[in-house]
Structure 1
C-alpha cells in the first residue's frame, strides 16, 4: 500500500525581495518561519552526530512538495518540482531522480515522524542553504517564479513537410496557477532548413514571469522521394538460365525502408516476355517504382529441377512434386545404438494442472527433452529438481543444451531449440553443480526463470552427467508460486495417452552408409518407426514399457562414406510440416533459415558436394513439434 502524507498548503505570505521564498529553521525548536509566517512541526530541529534533521512532512509541505510511504518496500518518496528523492529509514543510501547516492547520516523515525537531513533535502530540491550560527538558525531560500518547460514532437523535422507539436510542461513550484504563456519560433511547419531556437516564458497568477526555456530545433531540407533503379545482367535469357538483379535504388538520406520486387524470379521456364518491377519506399513513406522487361527464349539451359538443385542455397528451400520421391530406391544402412539415457518428459504435453510431470532415478550421461504447451489460464514455470538421497555429495556436470520459447508458434520453437542444441554440441560450455547428501537443487535455472504464458510452447534439449544416482522430478507450478513450498502437495500426473514420456536407454544412434551415394536419385528413410525402429524404455511413474514414437530426443549420426561429386543432399518431410536443424560436416543448417517446410512438396537444401567424392557426416535429432517421418534425398546435379 502506498500511503501519501499531505498537509494543507501553507498560506502564501507576502513575497520577499527579489521574489525568493524563505524558510527559517531554529535549532532545538519545532517552530519554522515561512516568509515570516510561523509554522509548527511535530518534532524540533535536531542535531545527531553533527547532522541536522528536520521533520520531513512539515518541511515538504512548506516547500510545496509531497511525501509518500510504500509499506511493502519500506521506502519514502519525496517529490518537489522535477525532483524525486527516494530513501528508507536508517539507511544512508538513497536515490535522486533514479541515480544512486549516499548521504552523511541517515533519516530516522522519531515518535512516528520521519526526520530528514536538512543538507540532503536542500541539495535534492535546489534550495540555497545558509547557516546562521549566532542565532542557531538555518535559512533556506528558493525562487518563487514559475518554471517554463516544454517538449517537442520532432527535433529534426523536414522543411515544409513535418508538422511539429509542442507540449507545454510548465509548472509552479509553489503550486500557483500559470495564467499566460509567450512563445518564440514555435512554428507548426518550418518553411526553410536551419537551426531555430524555440523559447517559452510563462506567467503565474501573481504576475511573475519565468526565466526563458529554450530548445533548438534543427530543420532538415525537404525530404525527396527515393529513386527506384535496377538492372539485369542481360536482357535475353534461355529457359532455366540464372538471372542476376542488381538494385541501384537511391534515397537522399539513404533511408530506404523497403524494397518490394514483383516477378523477380531467379529463372523462368516458359518462353516470352517477362515484366519485373521494383518498388522502393523511404522512411517517410515516399515511394518510387521502376519496371523492366526481359525476353525468355524458346531454348532450355536447365529444367526447373536442375535449376533448383544448382541455385538453391544451403538452408533454403525449393518446390518439387513430393509424391514422386516415393518411387525412388531407398538407401540401406547399418544401425549402431550407443549408450545414452534419454528422459522424454512430453506427456501430458499440454499443461492443464500443476503437478509432477515425470520422475525417476538416473545416473551417468543423461539427456533431457522437455516440450510443453501451457493450456492453463495463467502463466506457469517448469522446473527440474535433483535430489541426492545418497550418503555422499554428488556432482552434476551441465553440458550442451538448447532452449527455445516461450512462443505461441510451435514450429518456431521446434526449429530454434533443435538448432541451438546442435550448435551447443559443437562447442559445449560446461558448468558444475554440487548437491550435498540429503539435499535438492534446481538445474536449468535459466529455463525455469521464464514464465510460460497461456498458449505458449516451451522446449528444451539438455545433456548432463551425474556422478551418482539422483532422484529427479519435472515439476510445473503457477508462475507466482514457490516450487519448493508447493512440492509436498503435488502429485504425479497421468500421461495424456497421446504423447510419450519415459526413460530410454541407448539414445545415441549411429548409421553407416558404405554404398555409393549420388550416382542416381535415392532416399534414406528416417524416424518412420518401421525401417528406422523406435528405441524402447519405461515410464517409471507407472512401470509400463513404452516405445519412443518418432525417436524424439535421439541423437542421430549418419556417416555417408562415398558421396559422389555434384550431389545435392536434400530434406523431404513426409509427415507434414517440418522445422528443424542438421549439422552437416560441422556446420549447423536450419530447415529453413527464414521459414519452415510446410508440406511434402517443399524440400530443404542441406549440402552439396564439390568436384570430388566426399565423406559426409550428418547429425540431427527429430525436431520437437514437427511431423515425422522424414527422408534424406540424394540428387545428382547437372555438371554442364
Structure 2
C-alpha cells in the first residue's frame, strides 16, 4: 500500500474514533505529561454532583424514555508525545462513574473533560480551588483544574451576558427545581429561596422582588438568566478577564463554624457549648477543633476567649469562630425580711408593715406576701410571711407571728370605711340600700353619637355587625364574640362619601381582648379608655380623600380572635363632615377593604343591644352637700336614670340602650362633707371595672369582682376638710347594671 493510501486510512480511522465521543463531551489535547496533575484531575472529575430535587427542562442530550446517557470518566493522556486516545461512548445501560444523575427526570450534569493538566490558554491555570472560570462565548467552565461543559454556552443578548442557571447552580453546589406550571426555576441556598420566571425581568429572594438587566428565557430546553443576577442572588463575587475572554467567580467553599453559650455564665456553674457547622457545598464535616480557654466549669470570674473550627471531608478548615465569655461572680440570693410596728394588736387595729428585704447584688426582687392584712378580726396568733425572688430565680422567705387580742378596736366594716385603700372591699347589708335617700342632681348632656355594636354579640358567620353614618362627635362601644371555627378579626372601616376631604380626629381609645373572659375584656377596655384620656396617647388625625376608605381603631385587629374569644372597644372620635362607618367580623387573613362589599349585614340576636344613640355623654351635677347622711346615686336602672333612645339604622327600628352601656357619665359632687366616704355598690349582678376619681383610676375592686349587692368597694374618702369630687364612669361591657354610688359619713376614729 503506497503512502497516499496509508495516509487516507489513518485519517478515516481518526475520524471514526472522534465520532465516538458523546455530543456533550469533547477531547482536549495536551503536551504535558505530569502524571500527578493527571491523577488530581481524575479525582476531581469523579466527585459526585449534587442532585436536583426536581428536574429542569430537558436538555438536548437527554435520552428519551427516561434512559440516561452516563457521564464519561475523564481519561488522562498517557504521555506528552503520545496521540490522544478516543473515548468510547458508554452504553445506555452502564452506570456513570463521574456524576450521580438526578433521580426524578434525570439530566446529564455539566461534564468533566477527558483532560490532563490544561495549558495556560485553557483558562485553568488561574482557577484556584475556590474559583469557577466561565469562558466567554463558550460552554466551557473550569473548576479545580477540571474542564466542564455547560448545556448552553455563555451568551450575550441585547447587551446582557446570560448563563445556564443549571450549570451555575450545579457547579456552586446549591439545590434547584423547576416548576413546570409557573415556569419558574427555584434555587435554594440555605434559608434563602430564589425564584426566576421565564420571560420575566423580575426574580424574587424570599418573596422580595429584584429587577434584572434582562428577562430570563429558555433556549433548546435550557433556562438562561443574566450572569449579574444569578451571581448577585447567590452572593458570588466575580471579575472579568477581557484578555483571556473569561469570567472568574470566587466561590466560598470553606465550611463555617459557630457556637453559643448561655447569655449569663456564673463561676462554678456548668457551661453548655452548643456548636453549629455547615458547608456551602454540602461537604460532610468530619473534624472539629477548640482553641483558647474552653472549660466546662469556670471557677474564677473573668473574661475567657474560646475559638471553634471545623474541617470538611476535603480537608478544608473553617475560619475560627471566637467568643469572649464573661464569667460572672456567683449570684448571691436575696434576703427576705420585714417588721411590724408592734407585736400585739387589738382586733381591727391598723398594722404597719416595713419591708426590709434586699438583694446583696443589687438585683431587682419580686415580693410576695402571704396573709398580710391591714388588720385582723379574729383573736389569736396570726402568721404573716414574705417571699422575695431575684432575677436569677433565687428565693428567700421570712415569716413573723403576731398576736391578736380579744379586744375590739374597730369592727371590720368600720375599719375599712376608715382605713381601707381605694379598691378595697367590705360587706354591708345590701338589702337596706334601696331605702336610702336618692341624691338630687341636675342633668345635662353633650352631643356625642353612640354607636353600640353588641348584637349579635355572638357572631356565627362573617358579616357587617353595624353600619352607620355619623357626623361630629362619635363614640363606639363594640363587644363581640367569635363563634366561628376560624380565626377572625373585627374591623371598623371609615369611608368618606363627601366631595371634599374629611378629617377624623381620634381622641380616646380603650381596647380589651381577645379573651374568653367577657368581664375581663370589658374591664380592660374601660381602664385603657381612662388611661387614654390621661395620656392622650391615641390622639391623632386622619384625612380621608373623597371616596377613600380606611381601617380605623386598629387596636381591634392587631391580634386575631380564636374561636370563643371576645373583644371589647370603647373609643371617641370627631369628624368635620359625615363619615360612613362599618363594623365587621371576617376571617383573619382577609383584606377588610376588598371583603367589605361582599359581606351581608347580620341580624340582631334578639337579646343584646345595638343602636345609634344621640347625646351619649351625661353630665350629673350635685350641688347639695352630701355625706352627712347615707345617700345613693343610682345609674342604669331605666327609672332614676332613663335609657337612651335611638334607632337601629340597619332595619330602621327604634332602639333603647338597656343599661346605658357606652354612655360616659361625668359626675360632679360640688360639696362632699368632711369625713365622708364614697363607695361603689353593684345592684344587677357581677361587676368589675374601674372609675376615674379626680383624675386617678380606681379599680372596682382591686382584685376579683363585686359579685353581690352586699359588697361595697371604696372609691374616695374625704378628711377633716370637705371639697368637690369629680367621677367619670362608663359601664364595663360584660358586667351588669344597675349600680349605686353610695355616700356615707365615716365612723368616729378611736
Match of 1:287 among 395, 418, 442: 395
Map 1:570-581; keep pairs closer than 5 Å: 570-581=679-690
- Report the 3-state secondary structure (helix = DSSP H, G, I; strand = E; otherwise coil) of the residue aligned with 2:170: helix
Q: What's the counterpart of residue 167 of structure 2?
A: 58
Give the one of 226, 231, 256 matched to 1:115: 226
Bigger shift: 55-64 or 626-635?
55-64
Q: Name structure 2 gaps, 5 residues minimum.
A: 1-51, 57-100, 103-108, 118-123
Task: State the secondary structure of the residue aligned to 1:413.
Answer: helix
Displacement after TM superposition at 1:618 (Å): 1.9
**1:266 and 2:363 aligned:** no
Shift of 1:351: 0.6
Which deviations, in whole Å up to 9, do the C-alpha atoms of 1:364-401 show, x marking residues without a partner? 443332211111111233344456667x4473533433
**Aligned 8 A contact 1:19 1:145 in 2:** no
How far apart in 1 are the matches of 2:183 and 2:630?
Answer: 74
Q: Does 1:319 align with 2:430?
A: no
CA deviation vs aligned residue, 1:596-640 (integer Å, no higher than 9, x gap): 444445433322224322122222221111111111121333564
SS at match of 1:307: helix
Deviation (angstroms), 1:449:
4.1
CA distance in 2, matches of 1:260, 1:56: 65
Q: 1:92, CA displacement in angstroms?
A: 9.7
Partner in structure 2 of residue 431 of structure 1: 541
1:585 to 687, 694, 697: 694
Change (3 A) 1:141 1:504: closer
Contact 1:166-1:186 within 8 A present in 2 as well: no
Q: How far is the alpha carbon of 1:352 from its aligned partner?
A: 0.7
- Over 3 Å counting, the alpha-carbon distance change for 1:60 and 1:489 in structure 2 is closer
1:3-40 Cα shifts (integer Å, max 9, x gaps): 97789687999999998333212222232111122223
Displacement of 1:524? 1.8
2:147 to 35, 38, 55: 38
Write the distance in 2 (CA, Å) between the matches of 1:72 and 1:256: 60
Label 1:466 to 1:179 Cα distance change in 2 as closer, same or farther (>3 A): closer
Task: Give the C-alpha shift of residue 361 in structure 1.
Answer: 4.8
Any conservation in 2 of the 1:317–1:602 contact (CA below 8 Å)? no
Q: Measure the CA separation in 1 of the matches of 2:744 and 2:663.
A: 26
Question: In the aligned structure 1, how far is the partner of 2:701 from the partner of 2:518?
Answer: 15
2:247 and 2:548 map into 1 onto residues whose CA distance is 60
CA–CA distance in structure 1, aligned partners of residues 540 and 364 of structure 2? 44
Query: In structure 2, what is the equivalent of residue 395 of structure 1?
Result: 502
Q: Which has the larger radius of gyration?
A: 2
What is the 5 A alignment of 1:72-111? 84=192, 106=213, 108-111=215-218
Matched, 1:494 2:603: yes
- Higher normalized strand content (fraction of residues): 1
Q: Aligned pairs, how many?
A: 627
- Deviation track 1:35-59 (CA, whole Å, cap 9, x = no partner) reads 1222233554456899866444422
**1:469 offset after TM fit, Å?**
5.5
Distance 1:550 1:197, change over 3 A: same
After superposition, the Cα gap between the structure-2 partners of 1:489 and 1:616, relative to the gap in structure 1 and judged at 3 Å, is same
Which of residues 249, 271, 285 in structure 2 aligns to 1:178?
285
After the TM superposition, which residues 399-548 of structure 1 pair with which residues of structure 2 at under 5 Å, given as runs?
399-404=506-511, 405-425=513-533, 427=536, 429=539, 431-434=541-544, 436=546, 439=547, 441-442=549-550, 444=552, 446-447=554-555, 449-450=557-558, 451-466=560-575, 472-548=581-657
Q: Residue 265 and residue 72 in structure 1: after superposition, are their counterparts in 2 closer, same or farther (change >3 A)?
A: farther
> Residues 546, 190 of structure 1: CA spacing in aligned structure 2 closer, same or farther, 3 A cutoff?
same
> Within the alignment, does 1:151 sit opposite 2:260 as a pair?
yes
CA deviations over 1:156-186 (Å, ceiling 9, x no partner): 3233333x33333222333222223344555
Task: Classify 1:344/1:78 alpha carbon distance in 2 versus 1 (closer, same or farther; 3 Å).
Answer: same
* 1:441-491: CA deviation from partner (whole Å, max 9, x where unpaired): 345251564433322212223334455566544333333344455445543
Instruction: Give the match for residue 486 of structure 2.
Output: 378
Q: Secondary structure at the match of 1:313?
A: coil
Could you say which structure has the greater relative contact order, defined with CA pairs below 8 angstroms and 6 or more residues apart?
Answer: 1
In structure 2, relative to structure 1, the CA distance for the partners of 1:319 and 1:12 (3 Å cut) is farther
Structure 2 distance, partners of 1:85, 1:382, is 34
Distance 1:444 1:590 in 2: 29
Q: Which stretch shows the higher mean deviation, 584-593 or 551-560?
A: 584-593
Do residues 21 (structure 1) and 130 (structure 2) align? Answer: yes
Shift of 1:85: 8.1
